[in-house]
Amino acid sequence: MADEITLEVVRYRPELRIEPVVQSYQVPLREHWAILDGLTYIKDHLDGTLSFRWSCRMGICGSCGMTVNGDPQLTCATFLTDYAPGPVRVEPLRNFPVIRDLVVDIGDFMDKLPTVKPWVIRDVDSPVEEGEYLQTPEELDEYKQFSMCINCMLCYSACPVYALEPHFLGPAAIALAQRYNLDSRDEGASEREDILSSPEGIWACTFVGECSAACPKDVDPAAAIQRYKLTAATQAIKNFLLPRGAR
Amino acid sequence: MTASHDVLVIGGGGAGLRAAIAVAETNPRLRVAIVSKVYPMRSHTVSAEGGAAGVAADDDSLDEHAYDTVSGSDWLCDQDAVEAFVHEAPRELLRLEHWGCPWSRQPDGHIAVRAFGGMKKKRTWFAADRTGFHMLHTLFQTVLSFPEIVRYDEWYVTKLLVDDGRTYGVVAIDLATGRTETITASAVIVCTGGCGRVYPFTTNANIKTGDGMALAYRAGAPLKDMEFVQYHPTGLPFTGILITEAARAEGGWLLNKDGYRYLQDYDLGKPEPTPVMRSMELGPRDRLSQAFVHEQAKGRTIDTPYGPIVHLDLRHLGAELIDAKLPFVRELCSKYQNIDPVTELVPVRPVVHYMMGGIHTDIHGATPIQGLFAAGEVACVSINGANRLGSNSLPECLVFGARAGRAAALFAGLYGGRIPPAVMAQGRDEEDRLERELTRHLDGRERIADIRTEMQITMENGSGIYRDRDSMVKAFDELQELQARFADAAIDDHSRTFNTELVALLELSFMLDVAESIITCALHREESRGAHQRTDFPARDDERFLAHSLVQREPDRAGRRVRYLPVTITRWPPGERVYGR
Amino acid sequence: MSLYHRPIPLFWWLERRSYLVFVLRELSSVFVAWFVVYLLLLINAVSGGSAEYERFLDRSGQWWLVTINVIALVFVLLHAVTWFGLAPKAIVVRLRGRRVPPPLIAAAHYAAWLVLSAVIAWVILR
Amino acid sequence: MTTRRRPAAEPLLWLLFSAGGMIAALLVPILLFLFGVAFPLDLLTPPDHAHLLAVLRNPITRLVLFGLCALALFHWAHRFRYTLYDGLQLKRFSVVIILFCYGGAVVGSIISAYLLLTVG
């Protein structure tokens, strides 16, 4: 095994250039080194001007999503040796405006997230003194998968619909809405219906399925969206057939 | 530029989010804001795995939780704080349940609890082994339901504005644009978490650089019990990624190179096939990490390129239990270590995990500086004393985050009003200083990373699991030297747009201050207690040191002063820490 | 703050294999529609009597028509396989309170496909 | 928050698309194989006219075939509409595309109904 590998980093420095440029760095190729270790090596030893986000380096905080050789990846959980002998191309996540180098602007998602009301909505809140809302392990399993989202944005980066239709709510936001819709403690599904069933919601999705392929936590947002389509369509038929009072 | 709020929370992790909600609930008219250097859901609470303690089972009692915590702390906690804590923890955990936290359940739908180190009863609530992740996201998503809570995401606070013993806000940089801003507030709550990155090998995320501790320290607030640094016994070599204590609570064993459960040699009980509370692998973290050092001295650890290790054996638990209760452990082992704990031994070694010490607060989260509050790992109330029990820190974030939020709301409601001109001048000075930081190091010769690495090695050598006077004096001198070299540190990056190197520079300067406070307190405490083990003073000395150390900068900022504050004892007089017998 | 927006190429789906497969999958609908046209021509021919039907059979042997139909068959198979692969994501079936595992639902689709194809072949070839 | 416009047609169109996708996946491959490939290439002997006519005269056959034709056309209409939107980025012509696609499906359905009703 060679002892070095080339990282081709796509850099955008708003003060210097209009267009991003590729800059190559040689970093040590070592067992257990993630792409992220390569990037911190560059930052610490070769070029302090390289900007990227990272924090937990254990695949749970969702900071370090980037495009590695064309695929959206958590760079802390993607290893240099898997790309040997290289070179490895590291780009910012696709489908987001780039602020600088590998740092993208996820403000759009942060603005959309509250619109799907991702919190427990109850008709009547019980006081905590009365104890927990009971929930069996089976009821927990109904939504558990969709609660695993770390908001890393890899699904948005993989989604061509989001690229073409920036108003699209997107995979993670819809999956999180479904996470609450399917939670036995929640009674807010009807409050989320308008936004989810809007043209920017589930109906914009053409089931490319790339969001689920990209998801590092097996959340399967594509499934969340398809399931909600079926729910919404059934609901629409019911609304159409039944008089208002009988719904 | 300036912005103004009634209550400003620094940090968007478990404590900060809980505090912000408490403010909004206490007084909805208050303008509350959260400033965080990362998006809240990136905060390090996300990495907590094992669980959160709160009495829930019928056979358990608040007194038992309190006693476990007090004895776990080696009697250095304040017992009034512990009593308040154990009393409010279950309620806070229930509240989180009502907010949607996906706690693991019993078949009948009630909350499930698991065993944990140093706890006599099962009382640790858990969401598989991603408890912190689920708690953080639940809190964050709940915060979204409060439109009155304003967020400054990816803003980095560089200074607390304090005048005449009272706080008036902060100066912060908007990372995306590089704009600096003075943000005033009647009350400020510091919830920035710990400082594990002061050490070379830590479970802590890259962001855990002790910012809040240093901010308060520089503003004249005392830091408390900084010598108590918790080493978690089971981190993965190289990365330092945490393998949760829950792995042992579910029945995992620690084996030395002979496959021997070595903890039985260290007064931690006899090996039994199934876990026994407060015994063996379920002993407290300080004792387990110390046992590792002794095993290493006896040559019974295994050498690897990433240091000596022992083995965590989960194989006998079976795939089904591991997948149900420890799925994240399996994921982490396979991803970062290329092993499957179902069939293979997990290499582990002690790793810096948690700061028992922090900003000195009372049981309402108030610091001696008026209007300045702190909660979570950054604060020291203290419920953790000389050694925190696993699964007490998550409920601590909730209980004391909420308490600090309520107290800050009360304070802001009473003492709002005019900002003295001196404070605005301070703000402008700080903005000027940041401007200079961006350019002044043009011709610097030192690299940030080099100074940081040397600081980390210095801290490991000077104040590791075992310390003595000589090593600490040496470390203290080295830190002074590093401070001097820091003045000559260069930055390559002079951009205003998302300048992470400038942040790294400011973080390093914070870390150097925190490191200094740790060594200073450790030097002064001439005894061994909990996580502070001195080879030159091997015994606990209640006569002199049943007291919190408080380290504070002299007003001229040149020196530092250490004094002692007696521990509050209500019901449990100091006794022997007994585990496994 | 000046952000960089990466332009989207017109043929963005050539950039990734999975995107290309997606667009091909979507294009299968054109061949489904073509099949309906072909089927209607067949029905029309059968209605028109024996001679008309023979003429249809003759015409259907022309090389270009066979080529179209072979391509259409490939696309229709792509449609069927991807459809059965994705259906379990939308359809959640519960039997006695337990969720049926998705692979089982996919398997049920394949079984139905096999049975229906056999029935159709039997009805036509009998 | 403002209440969003909820499209009334979209759920119905999606249901038609889905039903069409399912029936097409189940029935089209074998039919196309037989009549488009196997018989023309003489891999199998085509059925005689009388047999086919008898099958076609069965009302169940006609019902199934009508369902297949109509739903498959709506499946095409819906999918092709989005293929044009996304694949060729033609969303700005959405009115024309919608008229062409769903209009085509409606006309096609009427033609198939007529042909199936008038089977000799």
- Whether residue C5 lies inside any domain: the answer is no
Q: From the candidates B151, B248, B403, B525, which is the catalytic residue?
A: B248
Angstrom CA distances, B194 to B48, B117, B296, B531, D82, stand at: 13, 21, 28, 16, 50
Query: What's the pLDDT tens digit per position in A63-74?
Result: 999 999 999 999
pLDDT of residue D9: 86
Q: Are residues A36 and A69 in contact, defined by beta-carbon separation less than 8 angstroms?
A: no
* DSSP code at position C6: P
Closest CA to B396 of B1, B15, B50: B15
pLDDT of residue D2: 41
Number of domains in chain C: 2
Indicate the pLDDT class of residue A242, thresholds 50, 70 and 90: confident
- Burial zone of B191 (CB within 10 Å; 0-12 exposed, 13-18 middle, 19+ buried): buried
Asked if the C-beta of A115 comes within 8 angstroms of chain D's C-beta atoms, the answer is yes
Do residue B449 and residue A43 have CB atoms under 8 angstroms apart?
A: yes
Q: Which residues of C touch A156 (CB under 8 A)?
A: none
CA Rg value for chain C: 21
pLDDT of residue B485: 94
- Whether residue C66 lies inside any domain: the answer is yes
Does the CA dihedral A145-A147-A148-A154 come out positive or negative? positive
Q: Which residues does chain C have with pLDDT short of 50?
A: none
Name the pTM for this structure. 0.96
- Whether residue C3 lies inside any domain: the answer is no
Whole domain around residue C17: which residue ranges?
13-90
Number of Cβ pairs < 8 A linking chain A and chain B: 169
CA Rg value for chain D: 18
C24/C55 same-domain check? yes
Q: Which residues does chain B have with pLDDT short of 50?
A: none
C50/C112 same-domain check? no
- Distance from B94 to chain C by nearest Cα, in Å? 28
Q: What are the sequence ranges of the domains in chain B?
A: 1-49+133-228+356-549, 243-348
In A, minimum Cα distance to B154 occurs at: A53
D10, two tokens? 């979209």
CATH code assigned at C45: 1.20.1300.10
pLDDT of residue B554: 80
Per-residue pLDDT at A204 exceeds 50: yes
Which of A95, A210, A220 shows the shortest C-beta gap to C18?
A210
The CATH code of the domain at B243-348 is 3.90.700.10
Do residue C42 and residue D35 have CB atoms under 8 angstroms apart?
A: yes
pLDDT of residue D1: 37
Domains and CATH numbers, chain A: 4-104 (3.10.20.30), 107-246 (1.10.1060.10)
Within 10 A of D5 (CB to CB), how many other CB atoms are there? 10
pLDDT of residue B466: 97
C18/C76 same-domain check? yes
Which of D4, D18, D91 shows the shortest C-beta gap to A195?
D4
In A, minimum Cα distance to C102 occurs at: A223
B351, two tokens? 């790793």
Query: What's the pLDDT tens digit per position in A85-101?
Result: 989 999 999 999 999 99
C36/C17 same-domain check? yes
Picking from B335, B439, B452 by the largest number of A CB atoms within 10 A of its own CB, the best residue to mutate is B335
Asked if the C-beta of B39 comes within 8 angstroms of chain A's C-beta atoms, the answer is yes
Per-residue pLDDT at D6 exceeds 90: no
- Whether residue C1 lies inside any domain: the answer is no
Superfamily designation of domain B1-49+133-228+356-549: FAD/NAD(P)-binding domain (3.50.50.60)
Query: What's the pLDDT tens digit per position in B498-528?
Result: 999 999 999 999 999 999 999 999 999 999 9
End-to-end CA distance of chain B: give it in Å, rounded.
Answer: 62
pLDDT of residue D3: 44
- Rounded Cα distance between A157 and A105, Å, is 12
> Mean pLDDT over residues D4-32, rounded?
89
Q: Is B452 a catalytic residue?
A: no
pLDDT of residue B581: 84
Q: Is B87 a catalytic residue?
A: no
User: What ipTM, to 2 d.p.?
Assistant: 0.94
- Distance from C102 to chain D by nearest Cα, in Å? 17
pLDDT of residue A169: 97
- Whether residue C40 lies inside any domain: the answer is yes
* DSSP code at position B305: T
Task: Tell me the DSSP string of chain A.
Answer: --SEEEEEEEE--TTT-SS-EEEEEEEE--TT-BHHHHHHHIIIII-TT-------SSSSS---EEEETTEEEEGGGSBGGGGTT--EEEEPPTTS-EEETTEE--HHHHHHGGGG--S---SSPPPGGG-PPP--HHHHHHHHGGGG-----HHHHH-HHHHH-TT---HHHHHHHHHHHT-TT---HHHHHHHHTSTTTGGG-----HHHHH-TT---HHHHHHHHHHHHHHHHHHHHHS-GGG-
The CATH code of the domain at D12-117 is 1.20.1300.10
- Whether residue C2 lies inside any domain: the answer is no
Closest CA to A86 of A178, A145, A4: A4
Q: Which residues of A touch D86 (CB under 8 A)?
A: 160-161, 164, 206
